Amino acid sequence: YVRMILHEKGLEYDVRPCTKETKPDWLIDYYDGSVPALRHRKECYTESDVIAQYLDFFFQEPSLSGNRKDTTIASECLDGFFQNVVKYLKHTPDGDDEDEQLKAKLEQALAKIEARLLEGSEGDSRVGPFLVGNGEKITLLDCSLSPKLFHLKIGLQTFKNNSIDIPNQFPSIQKYMDTIFSRDSFEQSSYAEEVVVWGWSNAREN
């Protein structure tokens, strides 16, 4: 999410991965060890959404902000989406009654995104593929949603036998994924599929 924003804005950065054992003292002492963390000059910010807002405010070209009203409407369609993804992908055993209930809730969440991708902004028809307004420009919300859809795609393939048929059930989401996953900013910032599988495999065991 944050790295995709950095690529969209053409900003240079260094990535310094760390584990619980290798976090620097300043991060632990002043920021409770929270990650992700962005250090810029003397400033440090944690939490992805806070970092995203900081980057878009101080590095305004290209802007990744949309009309406030349109952004609010688009945000509402994402409420609870990733929570439903997490609950479904983590649940075992696959295919039991609870699993089916979690799947149904995720499908309801996907249906809200599908509907948003078919709508334009107030009084305007849809002209582009993106989430906010009439879809004309990529925004922070797209940078936030795209890795979550990437995790969902891989999780469904790997753990759920493609139990949700996104291309046929949610064709607008599939088209959106094809568009956003092919952007250079996404390709440069996303994790390899095997890393995503490893992370979810660990989550499903706990």
Report the pLDDT value the prediction gives residue 71, as an integer from 0 to 100: 93
Q: Band of the pLDDT at 123, cuts 50, 70, 90?
A: low
pLDDT tens-digit readout, 19-77:
888 888 888 988 888 888 998 888 899 889 999 999 999 998 999 998 899 999 999 99
Q: Give the chain's mean pLDDT.
A: 93
Q: Band of the pLDDT at 189, cuts 50, 70, 90?
A: very high
Question: d(Cα 173, Cα 129) in Å, to the nearest integer?
Answer: 10
pLDDT tens-digit readout, 68-105:
999 999 999 999 999 999 999 999 999 999 999 999 99
Report the pLDDT value the prediction gives residue 35, as an integer from 0 to 100: 86
What number is the average pLDDT over the span 143-153? 97
Q: Do residues 66 and 137 touch, judged by C-beta distance below 8 A? A: yes
User: Helix, strand or coil for residue 9?
Assistant: coil
Neighbours of 146 (CB within 10 A): 24
pLDDT of 122 above 70:
no
